[in-house]
Amino acid sequence: QTRSAALHDLLAAFVARVPALFVFVFVLFIAAVVVRVLHRFGAYLRGELKAKPRRVAPAGALAFAEIVLKYIIYIVALVAAVLGSIRALPASDQSAIQQTVGVIPGIEPIALLGILAGLLAIVVADRFVDSIFEDMKHHGAKFSPRALDELKSVARYAVWIIGAVVLLFIILALVLSGDRLVIFAVGFVTLMIALAFFAFSPIQNALAGFTLMRTDPFDVGQRIKIGDELVGDVLGMTLSLTTVRTLRNEIVQVPNTRLLQTSVVNFSRSKPYAIFVEVPMGFEVAHDRVKALLLQAAAETDGIVKERPAEVFGKEIEGASILYQLFAYTDQPERMKEIKSALVFRVQELFAAANIRPVGPASSR
């Protein structure tokens, strides 16, 4: 009989707390359903379902927004589940919890509606920002499409981050006292200032990237020269870094701040681009003969354009020799290295056939 009474009391206590358990599980279940629906909607916007939208959304920005919104939903649901289940506990349990942790805040329906309205406002703001930048891309000429895509991503990230912070403080205002909320706000602002201090260099690179995208000195796929030595093809560009494949097939990531601080030559836009070959010859060789051989080498080299004739100049006198400079032009900057090599080899062949030998090492660039 004693065991039966104890078992009866245990079952009665469990049954009394079933509503609280049901509230907790039900709220989290609803949150999981909402997240699942959000994921399906994101897949639709990315064009991953059979039904396709009229315009596919950028995968990167959409994935980030989906992750942020998912965690916001889970955080809100967890807070609502905990507070709601506490309110569904028996009065004796609520009194014990209040004596331990203090007054239990309640969540009014108007507060939940405010949180949901905030989530809706974030989604609307995100779509509004997207539509503004898409309109600028099609009707504005001040910024390049690449710059607008980068700015749109940054703006959408900012919308979600600011919205998440606002919702966080709204939720904390429901569960924290005024003094504790002020302390948290001070700590949060201090943390943001510290993060901004440590992220100064990335922010500086991002601003440099925005400046480069606005001025548009090069595009992806074009061949450029950075400074005096680095020559390569642009593979990609973000707000902070520009990726270049060098002539040695090396992948180099250049900070955008460096690109603003040094000269950048765009070979792809400098058509035709000049190739220089310098040859030192002794005084005993007639300059007309040297000029004719150099022009013949340029004319017989594949990749040298005919529309703009090659030119030969006497650059300077070096001791008992004259330094001749050949200007030949190409409209294939992506083959510049091969064309220059072929030109140098043809110069060598013609001078050897004419039994003429330069007096010093030739140079080219």
For the chain, where do the domains classified as CATH 3.30.70.100 start and end? Answer: 273-364
Section 126-140 average pLDDT? 72
Backbone conformation region of residue 335, classed left if phi is above 0, alpha if psi is from -120 to 50, else beta: alpha
Considering only 93-102, 223-232, 237-246, 293-302, which range has the smallest mean pLDDT?
93-102
Higher pLDDT, 181 or 227: 227
Report the pLDDT value the prediction gives residue 344, as an integer from 0 to 100: 92
List the CATH code of the domain at 273-364. 3.30.70.100
State yes or no: pLDDT of 247 exceeds 50.
yes
Higher pLDDT, 149 or 232: 232
State yes or no: pLDDT of 105 exceeds 60.
no
Q: Is the Cβ–Cβ distance between 137 and 114 less than 8 Å?
A: no
Rounded to whole angstroms, how far apart are CA atoms 121 and 165? 13
pLDDT in tens, 341-350: 999 999 999 9
Report the pLDDT value the prediction gives residue 364, as an integer from 0 to 100: 45
pLDDT in tens, 108-129: 566 666 677 777 787 778 778 7
Rounded to whole angstroms, how far apart are CA atoms 351 and 292? 11
For the chain, where do the domains classified as CATH 2.30.30.60 start and end? Answer: 211-266
Section 167-191 average pLDDT? 74
As a whole number, the mean pLDDT across the chain is 77
Section 83-102 average pLDDT? 72
Higher pLDDT, 350 or 172: 350
pLDDT in tens, 11-44: 777 777 788 888 888 888 888 888 888 788 777 7
- 292 to each of 297, 308, 324, 365, how far by Cα in Å? 9, 17, 12, 21
Q: Tell me the β-bridge partners of 280.
A: 323
Fold of the domain spanning 211-266: SH3 type barrels. (2.30.30)
Rounded to whole angstroms, how far apart are CA atoms 127 and 124? 5
Higher pLDDT, 143 or 147: 147
> Would you place residue 59 in the very low, low, confident or very high pLDDT band (cuts 50, 70, 90)?
low
Q: Which of 224, 259, 262, 269 has its CA nearest to residue 238?
A: 259
Report the pLDDT value the prediction gives residue 62, as an integer from 0 to 100: 66
pLDDT in tens, 251-275: 988 888 888 888 888 877 777 778 8
Rounded to whole angstroms, how far apart are CA atoms 306 and 79? 75
State yes or no: pLDDT of 45 exceeds 70.
yes
State yes or no: pLDDT of 106 exceeds 60.
no
Q: Which two tokens stand for residue 98?
A: 């209040």
Report the pLDDT value the prediction gives residue 345, as an integer from 0 to 100: 92
Q: What SS3 state is found at 192?
A: helix
State yes or no: pLDDT of 363 exceeds 50.
no
Q: Is the Cβ–Cβ distance between 339 and 310 less than 8 Å?
A: no
Report the pLDDT value the prediction gives residue 334, as an integer from 0 to 100: 72
Q: Is the Cβ–Cβ distance between 346 and 260 less than 8 Å?
A: no
> Would you place residue 225 in the very low, low, confident or very high pLDDT band (cuts 50, 70, 90)?
confident
Angle between helices 178-198 and 200-215 (to 10 degrees): 60
pLDDT in tens, 323-340: 999 988 888 877 788 888
Report the pLDDT value the prediction gives residue 43, as an integer from 0 to 100: 78
